[in-house]
Amino acid sequence: MNFIFGIIFEKLFPFICKYIRPFMKWFLHTFTRLCELQRICYGAQPGARRTKQVEWSLESSRQPDIKQLIRELDEAVEFCSEDELKSLTLRAVNVVQRVKKIKPSANPDFAPLFGVSVYQIWSYKRLMHQVERLRSEQYNAENIEHEEKLMELWRHLMPDEPLTERVSKQWQEIGFQGEDPKTDFRGMGLLGLENLLYFSREYKEAAQHVLLHSRHPTLGYTFAIVGINLTAMAYVLLKSGDAKAHFYNVAQNAKRACSLEHFHKFYCYLLFEFDRFWLESEPTNIMDFREIYQTFEISILEALHKDSNVFKTNLVIEKV
C-alpha cells in the first residue's frame, strides 16, 4: 500500500510543484507576511530538517537572481577555503534578503538562521568534491606519500609483526586479496586507503577489535576488502544525497562545516556497525557476503532517511 502511495505521489509531485506550490506560497505570504525561506528558518527544527527545506526552496526558486546565485556558489565551492566559504555564505544571505525584500532591521534573526543552512548546504557540496578527488586519485607505488600511508596502515593494524617485504603474503593477514595491496585500491583510489588509515589510527581499539573478528576461523571475512567496499557505500550515500541528514545534523551539532573528517567518521561507523551486523547474521561462509551487505545497506538507508538521524561515532566496544 505504501509503495502504491509512493508511486502516486511521485506522479503528482511535478504537478504540485508547478501549479499548487506557487498558490500556497502566495497564500501563506499574504497571511503571514513572511516569505517561504523565513517561514522555514523560523519554524523548522535546526539541522537537517531546516537545511533540507531551505535547499529545496532555493532549488525550486524561479527568481533569476537566486538561480544565478546557486550557479555561482556551485562553481566557486569546489576549491574554496573555509574563509571563502564563509564569504560565499554572506553573499547568499545578502542576495536573498535583497530579492525577498527582507529588512535586516525588522528581521534580525533571519540572516544568522538562513546563513547556517547555506553554510551546511555548500560545505556538503564542497565535501563531495573533496571526496571525489581522493577517489579519482589512483594509488601509485612510486609515490612516496602513498607508500608511507600504506606502511602506516600496517603498523597500526599489526604493531607486533614487522612487514618483512613490501610485496608479501603478509598483506592477506589484514584482508587484502594478494601480495600487493595497490591492486585492491583501483575502484576507490586513494579514498579507500585514507578511510582504512583513519579508522586504524583514530579508533585503534575498535580497529583491533574488528580485525580480530575478521580473522575468526568460521565467521571471518577479508578486513581490507570489506573496508574498501564500505568506502564505496559511504561514497555513494554521500554523492546521492542520501547521507545529507546525517551530515547536516553533525555540522549543526559541531557548529562547523561538513568536512572530510566527518566523512571519515561516517565511514568508521559503517565499518564498525557492519562488523557487528555480520556476526549477528551468522553467515555460513564468505559467499553470504553479498546478501548480508545489501541487507546492511538497506538498514543504513532507512536510518538516513529520517531527518533526525545522526550516527554516533564514539564506537563503544562491549567488554564480555
User: What are the grid coordinates assigned to 101, written together?
Assistant: 525584500
Give per-residue pLDDT as tens, 88-147. 999 999 999 999 999 999 999 999 999 999 999 999 999 999 999 999 999 999 999 999
User: In 47-168, which ranges are continuous DSSP H helix?
Assistant: 48-60, 64-76, 82-99, 110-136, 144-157
Whose grid coordinates read 595497490? 182
Whose grid coordinates read 537566486? 66
Pair 88, 77: CB distance under 8 Å? yes
User: pLDDT value at position 313?
Assistant: 83
Residue type, 89: T
Whose grid coordinates read 577517489? 135
Query: Nearest Cα to 50, choosing from 213, 316, 245?
Result: 245
Whose grid coordinates read 594509488? 139
Give the rounded distance of the alpha carbon of 11 from its chain centre. 29
Whose grid coordinates read 527545506? 53
pTM for this entry:
0.90
Sign of the Cα torsion 217, 222, 227, 232 reads negative
DSSP 105: T
Give per-residue pLDDT as tens, 283-314. 998 899 999 999 999 999 999 999 999 998 88
User: Taking 60 as the threshold, does the pLDDT of residue 11 lie above it?
Assistant: no
Tally the residues of the chain.
320
CA–CA dist 175, 169 (Å, integer): 10
Burial class (CB in 10 A: 0-12, 13-18, 19+), 103: exposed
Give per-residue pLDDT as tens, 252-288. 999 999 999 999 999 999 999 999 999 999 999 889 9
CA–CA dist 147, 163 (Å, integer): 13
| Banded pLDDT at 33 (limits 50, 70, 90) | low
